[in-house]
């Protein structure tokens, strides 16, 4: 895609972080933007802030774990702007700890948002784009966690590996059947976002008695992430990475820093059939 003016982007997880930064950049490029988020107040505030530019921005409260919510989001975007040209399946959550200590709800919540949110996006947005006589692009937000495996965040790694594998298969299927639609997978490193405080959005269905297990490992990883994201890369860098990837039709949108070296070590482990190496990125 080279022409952005007047086209429409839909972004989940759009009230903050990378989603908000993508919305701001797309608006700056003359696009209309539909932001989706589960946080009603934060979404309203973001839409109001971004609407000061030349484009038009609207917000739709959306729980991406629910297929009907994502369909409602798409319907609202088409009704408001006539089509969808870029869809960013960006919403994501995190909870850490030891895998055998984490609750079924911890697994369910992260799978429902991080994986099912992308699944619902693909199933909803691709058919709409396939009917449009224009270039379109899907962005699925994974993580450098999709290419690595660190302790105390196994559920998150699992979900992001799933997003990467799903996106790779989608790349081939689109090339064979819907060539006007391209796909990229964004794999951020440590970004200055609210991912470390995802629990603020944790629905009651995943927060019943026994669903949140306090442990030393959970506390440790929460504190470590809070420290890392506080000095992390600005989300606007990821927005530019996405924009450049769309223009270049580049699939893998990866870190160029320490996380890439950790990913290379893991790939060498697989290539050489050796046991997994503990090789955390030096900027973790």
Tokens 């979900």 sit on residue: 159
Structural element, H or E, at residue 138: strand 136-141
Q: How many CB atoms lie within 10 A of CB 248?
A: 11
Tell me the sheet residues that pair with 262. none
Catalytic, 206? Answer no
Span between the terminal Cα atoms of the chain, in Å: 34
Output the six-digit token pair for 26.
């797309």
Q: Is 93:109 a contact under the CB 8 Å cutoff? A: yes
Q: Strand ranges (DSSP E) for 124-227?
A: 136-141, 181-186
CA gap 123, 188 in Å, rounded: 24
Q: Is 6:29 a contact under the CB 8 Å cutoff? A: no
Select which of 156, 171, 206, 252 is catalytic.
156
Active site residues: 156
């Amino acid at each position: 895609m080279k022409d952005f003016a007047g086209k429409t982007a839909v972004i989940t997880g759009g009230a903050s972080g990378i989603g908000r930064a993508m919305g701001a950049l797309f608006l700056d490029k003359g696009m209309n933007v539909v932001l989706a988020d589960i946080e009603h107040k934060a979404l309203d505030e973001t839409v109001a802030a971004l609407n000061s530019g030349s484009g038009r921005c609207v917000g739709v409260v959306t729980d991406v774990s629910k297929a009907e919510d994502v369909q409602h989001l798409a319907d609202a975007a088409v009704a408001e702007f006539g089509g969808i040209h870029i869809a960013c399946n960006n919403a994501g959550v995190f909870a850490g700890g030891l895998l055998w200590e984490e609750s079924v709800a911890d697994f369910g919540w992260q799978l429902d948002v991080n994986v099912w949110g992308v699944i619902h996006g693909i199933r909803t947005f691709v058919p709409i784009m396939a009917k449009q006589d224009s270039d379109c692009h899907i962005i699925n937000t994974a993580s450098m966690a999709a290419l690595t495996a660190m302790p105390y965040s196994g559920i998150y790694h699992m979900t992001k590996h799933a997003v990467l594998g799903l996106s790779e298969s989608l790349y081939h299927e689109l090339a064979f059947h819907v060539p006007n639609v391209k796909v990229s997978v964004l794999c951020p490193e440590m970004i200055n976002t609210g991912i470390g405080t995802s629990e603020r959005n944790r629905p009651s269905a995943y927060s019943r008695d026994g669903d949140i297990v306090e442990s030393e490992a959970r506390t440790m990883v929460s504190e470590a992430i809070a420290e890392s994201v506080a000095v992390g890369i600005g989300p606007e860098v990821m927005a530019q990475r996405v924009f450049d990837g769309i223009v270049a039709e580049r699939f893998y949108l990866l870190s160029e820093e320490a996380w890439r070296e950790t990913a290379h070590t893991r790939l060498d482990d697989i290539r050489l059939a050796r046991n997994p190496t503990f090789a955390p990125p030096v900027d973790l």
